[in-house]
Structure 1
Amino acid sequence: MTNAAVTTPETVTPGGPPPAVPLPRPVQMVLMAGFRRWYLRNAIKRYGSVFAINVPFFGRSVVVADPALARQVFLASTDDLINVQPNLSRIFGPGSVFALDGSEHRKRRKLLAPPFHGQSIKNYEKVIEEETLRETASWPEHTEFATLEPMNRVTLNVILRTVFGADGAELDYLREIIPPWAKLGSRMATLPEPSFSTGRYSPWGRLQSFRRNFDRTVFTLIDQAEADPRFEERTDILSLLLRSTYEDGTPMSRQDVSDELLTLLGAGHETTASTLAWVFERLRRHPEVLARLVGENDRGETNEYRQAFLQEVQRHRTVIDFSGRHVLAPHFDLGPWRIPHGYTVMIAIANVHANADVFPDPQRFDPERFLGTRTPTAWIPFGGGTRRCIGAAFANVEMDVVLRTVLAHFTIETDNAPDEKVHFRGIAFTPKAGGKITVRRRV
């Protein structure tokens, strides 16, 4: 980091702006794009847990790595802070929950909530187990292989089946077109969209072509669902959304349904798959943790330790490392700082998870820290507040069932291999080698 003069937390006037990183904007862009984890760690050491940066796309921003201040951001009024601008609605569509704020956002969240709570999620466990068994049936024994892509297939098939309820030609088509879209969309999500046409073969043109094909397929599936004589009895997410209405009795438009389904498919499988790849990467290197998980699983005990393990994976190997808000009010007071209108507030999730006051010895991988205690409010892999990931409970059940099923059918070999490095895939952080493991079948 540069030694140029800069205000520090000790010299800032109360109610003034936080200290700013004095590097040129293009340099900050390169650091955020290619070396974000390293950049933020060093900036926190130099400027404290709240500091200002200026980067293309998001513009003038304030990074927050303090757990208490992060909570203040998440609990702020939606009159003061709205969703980060621009956001993933550029990829998912204007009818996505990402595009909505205020009362419209609350109404949509209420409409989306039923498929992701209670018995609805319980009904999906069988699908998750079936897809895990289907994928793992071809796993090689005694040969190292990466788990990231197999987990991507599992989570994609799970979300497709739970969203649409059954297999068929349309789902086969979606299985074909969604993975390349997700890969391209992840890379384009934080790049500015040109104001002019870039042609059908450009990245933006390819995204538009995908969207037309996706909408056409979803509209066909909507027609099939509504024509089903048992439509009122169906429990798939598509049918639940089609039957749901706002308080005034109006349903979601077909386009809004398509936007929301794309949001669920896009946001609901790749991040979970990335976490599962880290699950296996961690197990390979922690034999005592693996042995305890297997024992709990084999004895048919409650999943207390498995849940603690999954929480620690998400803390120790955070997949989504920031959650953003946009200052809508004339200013937003955050602790001693005053953040002006138009700024972006970035919660540095991975850095909050590394806070030694909340998580002692944060570099140590230790599921014990989540046993017999209430989950700290600083544990925020799904964000927080009114914009906390609506699929958090679904993702948790999915990871739990996948891990439970794999442990029941395979022995994972452990060794002293170096930790896999963190690799940034555009939105999610994954194991660079794909979470490699070696297994043998249990008899």
Structure 2
Amino acid sequence: MSESTIAATPAVTPVSQVRLPPAPAVPHFLQAVGFSVSRKWIVGKLVPRYGGAFTMKLPVFGPTVIVADPALAKQLFMADTDAVGNIQPNLSRVLGSGSVFALDGADHKRRRRLLTPPFHGRSIKNYERIFEEETLREAANWPEGRSFETLEPMMRITLNAILRAVFGADGAHLDELRRIIPPWVTLGSRLAVLPTPSRTYGRFSPWGRLAAYRRRYDEVIGRLIDDVRDDPNFDERDDVLALLLRSTYEDGSSMSRQDIGDELLTLLAAGHETTAATMGWVFERISRHPEVLEKLVAEADTDGNEYRQAVLLEVQRARTVIDFAGRHVYAPTFELGEWVIPRGFSIVVAIDQVHQRSDDYPDPQRFDPQRFYGQRPNTFSHIPFGGGTRRCVGAVFANVEMDVVLRTVLRHFTIETTTAPGEKAHSRGVAYTPADGGRMVVRRRR
């Protein structure tokens, strides 16, 4: 079957024609345990045996079709949102019902229109200075000649950068958010892949602690919204919060305070951990590939960034931070290639496995930025930000931030190479980070 046939608009067919991909001959209980303990490992074992699509019974998501074929991923991402929508459950149970992750169909499309302007074009150029300043501020205390973890410094850089981009200034309120957000993101990331209990079981339980963080967050955001609205220069402000407060839907209505709080929390969480994790992998990879590092250093002293972009793309491919993107079947049935998936099933794209296909990436285990030098990757075989209507709205923001952070470090530090084995991937719940924190050794350039 050709890709053009697969990519055609999915049709709704009689339920009697349901045709599911093959399922592993493993008890559902063992499938669930394996996926919960090490989803990347178990999917990696099943793809060579069952190919581009297979069926599993998963915890949280229930009956699920796992997809590892870019053509099938394309069909899923480009499908009519009335046929397949947001995966259930999703991150809205952690981020709130007003988050873009909670919305579907027309509501999701309307919200994305409001969120897109602050994260594209001229707005991003305004943030480049912030990215450089936060990198230099954090790097001022880096030790010389001694190995240190880069993950936590990157977490602070990305959090401070997104806070300044969202709120436009520094101050006591942002200091309080700096104390709330990191433990909230860590806890929320772990709980997001677990079933939600019917109650929180008190303030000492994980869900109780998450609720407590949320109450503190809502108090701070409420004060920040009031401060921004009362600003005499409110109409001239270009920070994300001011833009959201001024934005209206086509019918003239605006977002509620609760929705704005949920959306800002989504931006802070999504624009923080995943970008920092990718940067941790960047330093872990380039310190083990002298030839790559040498080219990066040479380019950093110029105005170019073509090779740096190729390195970032290859890191996102070879060390995928978010390993799956999912949808939920709402139509009576949904045609996915040769398969017919019934209503109520989840369909999950195994991003990590798509990035490891030898058909698209010869010798996929080799770290080779030349794959992307001078050319952009195929849209549906390189999907670190997901795809289709639910592709990460902050993808451009994250890409520019990573580019500026890496350039700034290269201009001010010499990174020492190492022959140590590559770091293994560590699951933080939603994201995968370097197990040893993306360690590196630097010396300041004189």
User: TM-score, normalised to structure 2's length?
Assistant: 0.95
Distance 1:25 1:405 in 2: 49
1:413–1:439 Cα contact (<8 Å) kept: yes
Specify the alignment match of 1:238 in structure 2: 241
Specify the alignment match of 2:339 in structure 1: 337
3-state secondary structure, aligned to 1:21: coil
**Which residues in structure 2 correspond to 1:9-408 (within 5 Å)?**
16-298=19-301, 300-377=302-379, 378-408=381-411
Moved more, 24-33 or 238-247: 24-33
- 1:175-227 deviation per Cα after TM superposition (whole angstroms, max 9, x unaligned): 01111111110110011121134112211111111111111110100100011
Which amino acid is the alignment partner of residue 385 of structure 2? Answer: F
Moved more, 34-43 or 431-440: 34-43
Distance 1:179 1:15 in 2: 44
Where do 4+ consecutive residues of structure 1 move more than 3 Å? none
Distance 1:197 1:155 in 2: 30
Distance 2:173 2:375 in 1: 45
2:64–2:346 Cα contact (<8 Å) kept: yes
1:155–1:272 Cα contact (<8 Å) kept: yes
Distance 1:93 1:104 in 2: 15
Q: Please, which runs of 5 or more residues in structure 2 have no aligned partner?
A: 1-15
3-state secondary structure, aligned to 1:63: strand
- 1:63-110 deviation per Cα after TM superposition (whole angstroms, max 9, x unaligned): 000011111110011011111100000011000000000000000000
Q: Percent identity?
A: 63
Q: Identify which of 426, 431, 438 aligns with 2:429.
A: 426
User: TM-score, normalised to structure 1's length?
Assistant: 0.96
Q: Please, which runs of 5 or more residues in structure 1 have no aligned partner?
A: 1-12
1:125–1:397 Cα contact (<8 Å) kept: yes
Distance 1:53 1:130 in 2: 47
Distance 1:257 1:196 in 2: 25
Which amino acid is the alignment partner of residue 33 of structure 1? Answer: S
Distance 1:208 1:31 in 2: 29
Moved more, 31-40 or 429-438: 31-40
Which amino acid is the alignment partner of residue 396 of structure 1? Answer: N
3-state secondary structure, aligned to 2:340: strand
Q: How big is the shift at 1:26?
A: 2.3
1:159–1:268 Cα contact (<8 Å) kept: yes
Equivalent residue pairs, number: 430
Query: What is the Cα-based RMSD across aligned positions, in Å?
Result: 1.1
Distance 2:196 2:179 in 1: 25
Change (3 A) 1:15 1:59: closer
2:64–2:348 Cα contact (<8 Å) kept: yes
Q: How big is the shift at 1:14?
A: 8.8
Distance 2:202 2:38 in 1: 31
3-state secondary structure, aligned to 2:258: helix
Which amino acid is the alignment partner of residue 175 of structure 1? Answer: R
Moved more, 36-45 or 358-367: 36-45
1:25–1:56 Cα contact (<8 Å) kept: no
Which amino acid is the alignment partner of residue 92 of structure 1? Answer: L
Specify the alignment match of 1:7 in structure 2: none
Distance 1:197 1:165 in 2: 35
Moved more, 22-31 or 129-138: 22-31
Specify the alignment match of 1:5 in structure 2: none
- 1:354-397 deviation per Cα after TM superposition (whole angstroms, max 9, x unaligned): 01111111111111111122321211000000000000000000
Which amino acid is the alignment partner of residue 363 of structure 2? Answer: D
1:330–1:340 Cα contact (<8 Å) kept: yes
Q: How big is the shift at 1:55?
A: 1.4
Moved more, 23-32 or 242-251: 23-32
1:15–1:336 Cα contact (<8 Å) kept: no
Change (3 A) 1:73 1:293: same
